[in-house]
A and B are shown apart, each in its own frame.
Chain A
Amino acid sequence: MEKEIKLMKGNEALAEAAIREGVDGYFGYPITPQSEVLEYLAAERPWLRTGMVVLQAESEVAAINMVYGGAGTGKKVMTSSSSPGVSLKQEGISYIAGAELPALIVNVMRAGPGLGAIQPAQADYFQATKGGGHGDYRLITLAPSSVQEMYDFVHTAFELAFKYRTPAMILADGAIGQMMEKVTLKPQKERLADDKIKELYPWATTGRKKDAERTFITSLDLDPERFERHNHALQAKYKKIEENEVIVEMLNVEDAEYIIVAFGTSARVSFKAMDLLREEGYKVGLVRPITLWPFPKKEISQLAEKVKGILTVEMNAGQMVEDVRLAVNGRIPVEFYGRMGGMIPSPEEVVDAMKQKLIGG
C-alpha cells in the first residue's frame, strides 16, 4: 500500500492520530498553544467518520472528569490542554491513577508560572513526572520531539495506558504543537465494539449483569490497612513500568566524551549543537529520553562510566537535570543550560554552554 504522507501541525497530527487510533472520546477546553486539537476535531467531525465523541467541556476540570467517567466504562478516552489547564486537571488525574484507569492526557506546554506566556516551555516536567496531583502516583510520560512523534505517541500512550491500567501523558511543548512537518499517517483502526469492551475489560462499569457482582470505579478506601495494600500494589505496578517501558534515543554515544541530555524541542536544538560541536572535533553524543517517566536511569548511569561530563538542556530552570544527577550520582560533572519564559535556546548557545561548562576554554 502506498504511504499516506501529509504536511501537518503537531496539534493537528495528534488530533488525526486520535481519530485513526480508534479513540472513543475526546473532551477538551480551548487554550493556546493547543487549541488546534479541538478545532481540528470539530472540523473533521469524527463522529461521522468513526463514531468518536468530541465535546468542548466548560473547563479543564470538567474535561478531565468526563475522561474519568468514560475511562471507567472501558472506553478509550483522552483530553488535551496546555500548562494552566493541566494544573486544573491534576485532581482528576490523581483520581484516574488511584482508580487505575487508562486514559491519555496531552500537555502542550507553555511558559509559567501563573498565566505565564503562550510561547513554548518545558517547565511542567516536575508536574508530569513527579506526580503533579496529590498522593503517590506516577504518570507514564512521553515527550515527542517531532510532528511524527505527536502522531505516533497517541498509539504508544494508549498501548501503555491499557497495558497497565494507568494514565499516560504526552508532554509536548508549544513548538512541537505549532510546527508543521510531514507526517506518515496510519490506516484507520476500528473502535472497539461495546461487547468487545465488556469482554476485554471486566473491571469496567458497563452495567451489572443479572446475578453477577456489580463493578465500581473508585479511588476511595477508608480502611487504612487495605488502602496501604492498594498503594503497595500501585507501587509494584510502577516498578514494573520502570523496569520494562523505558524508551530513549541515543545518538553518537559510542565514542562520546561528552553527552547532552535533552527532550522535545530542546533535543532538536541539541541535535544541531551536537553536529556543530562534532564539526569542531569534539566527541559529543545526545541522549533523548522519550519516556520522561520511566526515566532512562540505567542508560545514563552506564554512560557516566565512560564519558567526562553531561550537559542537560531544557526550556525551564533545571528540572530533568535532577533526574540526570540522580542517575549519575556524583561520578562526573552534570551541568545545566536552560532558557525560560517562552525562549528557545539556539544551537550556538548550547555549543557555548558545553564549551564553557564542561569542555573548557
Chain B
Amino acid sequence: MVYKKTPLMTDKVLSYCPGCGHGTAHRITMEVVEEMGIQEDVLGVAPVGCSVLAYEFMNVDMSEAAHGRAPAVATGMKRLWPNKLVFTYQGDGDLAAIGTAETIHACNRGENITIIFINNGIYGMTGGQMAPTTLEGMKSSTSPFGREADIMGHPLKITELIAQLPGVYSVSRHAVHKPAAVRKAKRAIRKAFEDQLAKKGTTFIEIVSNCNSGWKMTPVKSNEWMEEHMFPFYPLGDIKKDGKLVK
C-alpha cells in the first residue's frame, strides 16, 4: 500500500515523541475531513496538553483553547455557526480534570460537536504527572509509588459517565496502535462527523493511547503495556450507538 499524506496535515514536523499516538489521531481526523470534502466548513479546537499545537499540524481553521475549556470554546463557535463542523481534540487532564464541568455540560446540552478524547492515563506535556485516568497502581511523577485509590481517588471513566447523558448521540472507545485499530477509529470519526452534520447531538470518541515518555517505556513496550493494562479497564468498542446505550 502506498501511503499518501493528506494535504490537510501541514508540513511541520510533529512535536510529538516518536511512537506517540497523537500524530496518528491527528492524521486520521484530517483524512476524514479530506475524504468528506468538508475542509471549508470545519472548525477545530485544540486543548492545552501535548496537542496544544494541534493547530500547527492540522491544516484547517482552529482555535487554541485554555486548559479544559475546549468544549465551551466549541459551544461558542457552534452556536454561532450551526452549519459548521466543530470538533475538539483533548487529552485526559484537559477533558476529565480541569475541564470536567465544560465537558459534561457541553455534552448534557447535546451540543452538536464532536469531542475527540485522547486518554493516555497521564499528563504528558507537563512531564508525566498523575491524570484522572491514571490506573490504580500506575506510577507517575506525582504518584511515584503507584496510584493509591484511597488517597488519590479512583481512575475516572468519564466516557461511560458521558454516555448516560441524553444529549449525547454516540460514544465509542478506540485505539490507534495497530493498523486495524486505526481503521476502526477512523471509521468512527467519520460516522461521528456525519452524525454531527445531521445534527444528531454530541458525538464522543475516546482514543486510548500510549505516552511512552510519561510511562517511561519504549514505544513498543508502551503499546504492549497499554493492551495489557489500559484495555481491560478501558475496554474498546461502542458504549452508545445511535442514541442508545450498548449493553
User: Which residues of B have CB within 8 Å of A99?
Assistant: 64
Q: Does A329 contact B (CB under 8 A)?
A: no
How far in angstroms is the closest Cβ of chain A from B115?
Answer: 14
Q: Produce 1/0 per residue, B88-113, CB < 8 A to A.
A: 00000000000001100100000000
User: Which residues of A have CB within 8 Å of B74?
Assistant: 69
Q: Does A92 contact B (CB under 8 A)?
A: yes
Q: Produce 1/0 per residue, A24-65, CB < 8 A to B.
A: 110100000000000000000000000001010111011101
* Residue in chain A with minimal CB distance to B105: A58
Q: Is the CB of B77 within 8 A of A72?
A: yes
Given A208-B40, A208-B42: A92 touches B59 (CB 8 Å cut-off) = no
Q: How many A-B residue pairs have CB under 8 A?
A: 125
Q: Is the CB of A65 within 8 A of B66?
A: yes
How far in angstroms is the closest Cβ of chain B from A74?
Answer: 9
User: Which residues of B have CB within 8 Å of A55?
Assistant: 75, 79
Q: Does B166 contact A (CB under 8 A)?
A: no
Q: Is the CB of B80 within 8 A of A77?
A: yes
Q: Does A210 contact B (CB under 8 A)?
A: yes
Q: Is the CB of A58 within 8 A of B64?
A: no
Bound complex: CA A205 to CA B59 (Å): 12
Q: Does B81 contact A (CB under 8 A)?
A: yes
Given A58-B102, A72-B63: A207 touches B41 (CB 8 Å cut-off) = yes
How far in angstroms is the closest Cβ of chain B from A193?
Answer: 12
User: Which residues of B have CB within 8 Å of A208?
Assistant: 39-40, 42, 59-61
Contact of B63 among A24, A61, A75, A218 (CB under 8 A): A218
* Residue in chain B with minimal CB distance to A52: B80
How far in angstroms is the closest Cβ of chain B from A30?
Answer: 15
Q: Is the CB of B52 within 8 A of A220?
A: yes
Q: Is the CB of A58 within 8 A of B61?
A: no
How far in angstroms is the closest Cβ of chain B from A63?
Answer: 8
Q: Is the CB of A65 within 8 A of B43?
A: no
How far in angstroms is the closest Cβ of chain B from A20?
Answer: 18
Q: Does A284 contact B (CB under 8 A)?
A: no
Q: Is the CB of A62 within 8 A of B84?
A: no
Bound complex: CA A68 to CA B66 (Å): 10
Given A59-B101, A62-B101, A72-B63: A207 touches B39 (CB 8 Å cut-off) = yes
Chain B contact patch, size range: 20 to 34
* Residue in chain B with minimal CB distance to A92: B66
Bound complex: CA A55 to CA B60 (Å): 27
* Residue in chain A with minimal CB distance to B42: A207
* Residue in chain A with minimal CB distance to B109: A55
Q: Does A259 contact B (CB under 8 A)?
A: no
Most A-side CB within 10 Å, residue of B45, B59, B81: B81
* Residue in chain B with minimal CB distance to A212: B40
User: Which residues of B have CB within 8 Å of A75?
Assistant: 80
Q: Is the CB of B69 within 8 A of A62?
A: yes
Q: Is the CB of A69 within 8 A of B76?
A: yes
Q: Does B55 contact A (CB under 8 A)?
A: yes
User: Which residues of A have CB within 8 Å of B59?
Assistant: 208, 214
Q: Is the CB of A206 within 8 A of B81?
A: yes
Bound complex: CA A220 to CA B77 (Å): 20
User: Which residues of A have CB within 8 Å of B73?
Assistant: 65-66, 68-69, 72
How far in angstroms is the closest Cβ of chain B from A309?
Answer: 46
Q: Produce 1/0 per residue, B9-40, CB < 8 A to A.
A: 00000000000000000000000000000011
Q: Does B197 contact A (CB under 8 A)?
A: no
Q: Does A156 contact B (CB under 8 A)?
A: no
User: Which residues of B have CB within 8 Å of A219?
Assistant: 64
Q: Does A67 contact B (CB under 8 A)?
A: yes
Q: Does A217 contact B (CB under 8 A)?
A: yes
Q: Enumerate the 5 nearest inter-chain pairs by beta-carbon distance, A residue then B residue, closest first.
A: A69-B76, A69-B73, A66-B76, A65-B72, A70-B76
Q: Show the binding face of B for A, using Cβ within 8 Å.
A: 39-43, 45-46, 52-53, 55, 59-66, 69, 72-77, 79-81, 84, 101-102, 105
Q: Show the binding face of A for B, using Cβ within 8 Å.
A: 24-25, 27, 53, 55, 57-59, 61-63, 65-73, 75, 77, 91-92, 95, 99, 194, 205-210, 214-220, 222
